[in-house]
Structure 1
Amino acid sequence: MPLNKTLSVLLLSLISGGALAAEAGTAFIALPGKAMLADAVRLAATVTAIDPATRTLTLQGDNGQARQVVAGPEVRNFAQIKVGDRVEVRLLESLSLELKKGGAGVRTRVDSVEAARAEDGSAPAGALARSTTVLADVIKVDAKTHSIELKGVSRKLKLKIDNPEQLKQIQVGDQIKGTYIDALGISVTPQPAK
């Protein structure tokens, strides 16, 4: 199984079971012709049991809930994980929008994926980042509904623009560049020596 699928399966099993205690934060920034929204979540748990034969970890969140997770063969350095180690998952989602005056007609979409995992011999860890960047034409501006309509490479999309000052800047024939990123990182921190 590829690393990005392994990380996704592990993450979904941790979140869906509610085993990890979560901390979250959201940020929104708006400047003339630009806006960005980012959401970050940190999940943490302690390894309470390990079954090396099945590569199953029992993780207990700070909230007391426990969850079993199977670490597939793609997880390097599994043998280094010990009871008492901390597992941390960090998630980041962001969306940035930028107004491009004029230039309508050339629409694009670029998808990319980057993944990394721990080197042999180091603490178990992995990261995955996916991004999509779209350049879309503004084909309609509706001041009454505070919205714009965009035409991308393969579909149309209607966006609500709550800020009247931002909406005033947008005209038919402009373009909007949008970049969506979602990333996750998983790491294991050994328990301190006693």
Structure 2
Amino acid sequence: MRNSKLVVVVALVALANVGFAQTKPEVDVTSAPGKVSVTGTVKTTSTVVGIEPDTRTVWLRDPKGKVVQVVVGEEARNFDQIKLGDVVKAEYSQAITLTLIKEGATVGANENHSLERAPLGAKPGGTATRQITIMANVTAVNTHSSVVTLKGPQGNSVDVVVQDPDQLNRIKKGDHMEVVYNEAVAISVEPQTSK
């Protein structure tokens, strides 16, 4: 079965930047005529093996024994609740969806954020999300190289490679492309379980 997809130079790079994430990301690509979505998620579990309260630094060891140093920002409540042996669970996800809009669209961009933190006195943790929506103009379609050029609201241009010829044939100069990017991170700190 042929999996038709629009490939965007969006290699879910941030998944590799989670720091202590050594698990392989789960990546999913879905496609419909004029629309494609790419999502990726990384889940990790690490153990606190060091704490430096003055600099708000913790050292985390993953299941393979790799230790990384993480500086915990002031926005994270309850740093003093972290203890050696605590288990830190993190889930990081990204998604990008491109949708072809034939008419009636206006070039523009907007961004939304949310942040939920652990209550005072509890173990640190919380979730943070961000969504960016951009409407861009299709300024060129090169059928020989399978490249579509998009011009964003600030005048910058981006080339997008479209591997599926059926998707490429739907796109014409003057069309619009809506790009929606989402990312979310959830982190929890749990006491060490007794063995």
**What TM-score comes out, normalization by structure 2 length?**
0.79
Report what 1:6 is aligned to.
none
Q: Which moved more, 1:142-151 or 1:53-62?
A: 53-62
Measured in 1, the distance between the counterparts of 2:23 and 2:162 equals 31
Aligned residue number for residue 189 of structure 1: 190
Partner in structure 2 of residue 94 of structure 1: 95
Match of 2:123 in 1: 123
Task: Return the alpha-carbon distance in structure 1 between the equivalents of residues 149 and 47 of structure 2.
Answer: 47
Which runs of structure 2 are paired with 1:33-44 in the superposition (5 Å)? Answer: 33-44=34-45
Which residue number in structure 1 is paired with residue 28 of structure 2?
A: 27
Cα RMSD of the aligned pairs, angstroms, is 2.4
Who is 2:78 aligned against?
Answer: 77
| Structure 1: gaps (5+ residues) | 1-10
Question: Structure 1 residue 59 and structure 2 residue 60: aligned?
Answer: yes
Residue in 2 aligned with 1:7?
Answer: none
Using the TM superposition, give the Cα deviation of residue 135 of structure 1 relative to its aligned residue in structure 2, in angstroms: 0.7
**CA shift digits 1:62-83 (9 cap, x unpaired):** 1112234343443322333232
Aligned residue number for residue 164 of structure 2: 163
Preserved contact between residue 78 and residue 124 of structure 1 (Cα < 8 Å): yes
| CA 1:56–1:160: 2 relative to 1, 3 Å | closer
The aligned residue for residue 179 of structure 1 is 180
Deviates more, 1:84-93 or 1:55-64: 55-64
Structure 1 residues 109 and 190: alpha-carbon distance in aligned structure 2, compared to 1, 3 A threshold? same
Does the CA-based 8 Å contact 1:103-1:173 persist in structure 2? no
Q: Percent identity?
A: 33
What CA deviation, in whole Å up to 9, does each residue of 1:16-70 have, x standing for no partner?
xxx5543421111111111011121122211134444554433211111223434
Query: Does structure 1 retain, via aligned residues, the 8 Å contact 2:138–2:173?
Result: yes
Q: Hey, what's the Cα distance between the residues in 2 that align with 1:125 and 1:116?
A: 9
C-alpha distance in 2 between matches for 1:95 and 1:147: 18
Structure 2 distance, partners of 1:99, 1:73, is: 41
TM-score, structure 1 as length reference: 0.80
Aligned letter for 2:77? Answer: R
Output the amino acid matched with 1:110. Answer: N
- Closer, same or farther: CA 55–153 of 1 in aligned 2, 3 Å: closer
Measured in 2, the distance between the counterparts of 1:77 and 1:188 equals: 11
Q: Structure 1 residues 103, 59: CA separation in 2 closer, same or farther (over 3 Å shift)? A: same
- Is the contact made by 1:45 and 1:88 (CA closer than 8 Å) also made in structure 2? yes
Q: What secondary structure sits across from 2:140 in the alignment?
A: strand
Distance 1:75 1:158 in 2: 38
For the residues of structure 1 that align with 2:132 and 2:159, how far apart are their CA atoms? 18
